[in-house]
Amino acid sequence: MVIILLGPPGVGKGTQAARLADSEGWEHVSTGDLLRAARRDGTELGKKAQAFMDAGELVPDSLILDLVRDHLKGVAPEAGILFDGFPRTTAQAEKLGGVLKEVRRKVGRVVVFEAPDETLVQRLSGRRSCPDCGAVYNVHLSPPKQEGVCDRCGGKLVHRADDTPETVRHRLEVYQELTQPLIAWYEKSDARVVRVPADGPVDDVQADFRAAVR
Ligand code: AP5
């Protein structure tokens, strides 16, 4: 099964995808995480992406497609895949369709997570992430046991540079302008589009998410 997760910044795509992928052994492909890893590794692509990400703009499609194509080379052809934060533009969706077709696969489900903007801004202002293992916390809602330290690997937690209220508002505008139209785009395709309310507790959202991909 190839599943696409759509939804605005902070809606919980990463949190939900990580849980489902861990329990089912599926591949979780987050282009945001791949880009942050490229930045940490100091690759050319990471350097090119940095200014776009910090400003809350989308990274150019050509860079993203190279990144995804490279990553998919290491994924078993029959593995379940959860795409989180990709595609984000119609051009990316068209290219993904082509890449999947080459390996005789297609998008089976598009899950759209939804929550009010105020919830998203509040969640992102409290988000802390571990750059070493990728674990995500929230200082208001799901804090680590020791402030600033990852429960899972002991790494030093960071507040993402693009999680300031001003940049989050810009990311929301970018989502509405460039990514939200993909919902209608996929509704016209063979894929089944399912909307999941994502403003409840993490466990409830996970239950609805599992029902949506069954
Ligand atoms: P990316 O990292 O993909 O950011 P995003 O899509 O804006 O999504 P977020 O990671 O901010 O949120 P999320 O929905 O995963 O929420 P999370 O689970 O963390 O992209 C960053 C940048 O990279 C982009 O702006 C762009 O520049 C670039 N980029 C990436 N992909 C690209 C692409 N395809 N094309 C072009 N550019 C691209 O949860 C958020 C917080 O809420 C956490 O603290 C969490 O603990 C908490 N939380 C989650 N669920 C709940 C809940 N149910 N109740 C309470 N708290 C919750």
61-72 helix and 31-40 helix, angle to the nearest 10 degrees: 90
Cβ of 9 less than 6 Å from ligand 1: yes
Average pLDDT over residues 26-51: 95
- Catalytic residue from among 48, 160, 169, 195: 160
Give the length of the chain.
214
Q: Which domains does the chain have, with CATH numbers?
A: 2-212 (3.40.50.300)
Grade residue 77 by pLDDT with cuts at 50, 70 and 90. confident
DSSP code of residue 56: T
Examine the pLDDT at 103 and tell me if it is beyond 90: no
- 160 among known catalytic residues: yes
Examine the pLDDT at 102 and tell me if it is beyond 90: no
Alpha helices in the chain (DSSP H): 13-24, 31-40, 44-54, 61-72, 90-102, 117-126, 165-174, 181-187, 202-213
Judge contact between 9 and 175, C-beta under 8 A. Answer: yes
Q: Alpha-carbon torsion 85, 89, 93, 99, what sign?
A: negative
Cβ of 134 less than 6 Å from ligand 1: no
Examine the pLDDT at 94 and tell me if it is beyond 90: yes
Nearest CA owner, ligand 1 atom 49: 12
Task: Give 190's contacts (C-beta < 8 A, 6+ positions apart).
Answer: 106, 107
- Catalytic residue from among 19, 36, 88, 95: 88
Mean predicted lDDT score pLDDT of the chain: 95
- 192 among known catalytic residues: no
Cβ of 15 less than 6 Å from ligand 1: yes
How far apart are the two ends of the chain, measured CA to CA in Å? 10
Q: Alpha-carbon torsion 70, 130, 128, 164, what sign?
A: negative
Instruction: Write the pLDDT tens digit of every residue in 135-188.
Output: 999 998 899 999 999 999 999 999 999 999 999 999 999 999 999 999 999 999
Question: Would the pTM of this model clear 0.85, i.e. be above it?
Answer: yes
Question: CA 140 to CA 157: how far, in whole Å?
Answer: 15
